[in-house]
Amino acid sequence: MKRLAYIALGAVLALFGNYYLTSSTEPDLQRLYMQSMAVEDQPPVVFIHGILGSRLKDENTDEELWFGPIWNLLFDHHYDLVMDINPDSLQAEPGELKAFAIADNTAGKDYYGNVLRTLEEVGGYEKATPGQEIRPQSKYFYEFYYDWRLDNAINAAHLADFIDRIRLDHGDPDLKVDIIAHSMGGLIARYYIRYGRADVLDSNDFPENMYGGQRVRRVILLGTPSLGSVKILNAFIDGIQVGFRKINTEILVTMPSMFQLLPHPITDWIVTARGAPLNRDIFDIDTWRRFKWSIFDEDTRARILSRYDSAAEGEAYLETLEAYFGKTLERARRFVWSLTVPLPDEHPQLIVFGGDCALTPARILVEEVDGISEIRMYPDEITQPVMGVDYDALLLEPGDGAVTKSSLLGRNTLDPSVPRHEYIFFPLHHAFLLCEKHDSLTGNISFRDNLLNTLLSLE
């Protein structure tokens, strides 16, 4: 009897073993959504890329300067991206550069191609552009590309024009769209929902009008730093590595959008070597001066001066740059607060996707060395560790390598059992967490599966 039982058990195990061997390890999107291809009663979808996520060209020469040829991407410092600073208005001006396409893939890296193809080939959405004639009983998706260097309030106004044109094309004054927004694109979408075309960043009042909120059904935020990113602060200090070169800080600071990605004041973004939060204002120019960050770093100032024919010209530019820096910091302070003040109950659903498997910069640390305050961005940089302090846990938190899980979810703490801070309003509907890096989120198969399930759901 025992022999027969073992034989039967072996047959069962073999049966299930064969089942698992022949089963897919990934969802079959075509099979899952084959019936949805024919579903036509769906809002248009607007896809918004993140920072660095559109191609930029010179309007006069038609030369692509970002990303540009592969050798430029790998070996250039990208000074062509510098925005002109008007010395009178202290406004950053884009010059001759213009966004002309979303960066789908470059140098063998797929940035947005996967998700856009999924919408078209699996979801049954047809790619369209504003102003295009619309066929009844069809569903469409649109790519909103923009100059990611510009102030986010400016790009939110462009988004308002973009969506209003779509509503006009569809001949429906009550039409609502669905938005998919990656990274900084999510901040633009959230500003648009609250304020539409209005620029509310010249004061601390933030009068919401819900202009965009009346035109959007759902917002899908993918890897959006809702409470900012310490990785961006690190970039201001040390530049952004692209290929074999860096986009240096003197280039980045001419872009207002970069300032608007800095950590929210409510977060403990800077700590002592003992792990205690430091009371420092990241949006106060004196903080940057004291620590000699960015344009206040001696090597950076020397690089800036070396690009001018005369010392007088270089010093004049530095003077303008410092005044612009202070003004842009204050505007960025208002921007981050403008997204966390309370809103009316009627608000589009915010659905969040993002990574939580990669250790991500969450704080920087001030270490006193021979009476001098030194900034440490990573645990291995600390030279005089305090016994009992876990510097890995202190400086790095789970995220996607650029955005921490807590920032993704609009929380000032990683602990989900702790209530969100009373001054942070973040109407999260629900969230999906993935094991993926920031620049690969859009290609993640689980994201694309749940994205279609979310878009095509009536609930």
Question: Out of 30-44, 196-210, 285-299, which region has the weakest mean confidence (pLDDT)?
Answer: 30-44
Q: What is d(CA 303, CA 22) in angstroms, rounded to the nearest whole number?
A: 60
DSSP H helices, 104-204, are: 113-121, 152-170, 184-195
Q: What is d(CA 106, CA 189) in angstroms, rounded to the nearest whole number?
A: 25
Q: What is the share, in percent, of the chain residues with pLDDT greater than 90?
A: 83
Peptide bond into 67 cis (omega under 30): yes
Q: Please, which residues have CB within 8 angstroms of residue 144's CB and are 6 or more apart in sequence?
A: 46, 47, 48, 49, 158, 159, 162, 185
Task: Return the SS3 of 26.
Answer: coil
- pLDDT of residue 411 exceeding 70, the answer is yes
- pLDDT of residue 21 exceeding 50, the answer is no
pLDDT in tens, 39-72: 777 999 999 999 999 999 999 999 999 988 888 8
The residue that leads in pLDDT, 336 or 349, is 336
Question: Out of 2-11, 92-101, 192-201, which region has the weakest mean confidence (pLDDT)?
Answer: 2-11
Q: What is the share, in percent, of the chain residues with pLDDT greater than 70?
A: 94
Helix 445-456 and helix 113-121: axis angle, to 10°? 40
Tokens of 298: 């001696």
Q: Please, which residues have CB within 8 angstroms of residue 359's CB and are 6 or more apart in sequence?
A: 392, 396, 397, 398, 399, 401
Work out whether the CA dihedral 147, 284, 331, 377 comes out positive or negative. positive
Q: What is d(CA 355, CA 435) in angstroms, rounded to the nearest whole number?
A: 5
- pLDDT of residue 109 exceeding 80, the answer is no
Helix 311-338 and helix 298-306: axis angle, to 10°? 120
- pLDDT computed for residue 144 by the predictor: 98
Beta strand segments in 21-139, E: 45-48, 54-58, 64-66, 84-85, 92-93, 97-102, 105-106, 109-110, 126-128
- pLDDT computed for residue 9 by the predictor: 47
Q: What is d(CA 227, CA 210) in angstroms, rounded to the nearest whole number?
A: 21
- pLDDT computed for residue 443 by the predictor: 93
- pLDDT computed for residue 311 by the predictor: 95
Kindly indicate the confidence band of residue 23, based on its pLDDT and cuts at 50, 70 and 90.
Answer: low
Q: Which of 353, 341, 345 is nearest to 421 (CA)?
A: 341
Which strand (E) or helix (H) includes residue 406? helix 405-408
pLDDT in tens, 133-143: 999 889 999 99
Rounded to an integer, the average pLDDT of 350-359 is: 97
Kindly indicate the confidence band of residue 74, based on its pLDDT and cuts at 50, 70 and 90.
Answer: confident
Q: Which of 283, 287, 289, 385 is nearest to 334 (CA)?
A: 283
- pLDDT computed for residue 41 by the predictor: 79
Residue type, 323: A
- What are the phi and psi torsion angles at 39 (to 5°)? -70, 125
pLDDT in tens, 133-187: 999 889 999 999 999 999 999 999 999 999 999 999 999 999 999 999 999 999 9
Contact by Cβ (8 Å): 214, 196: no
Q: What average pLDDT does the structure give for the chain?
A: 92
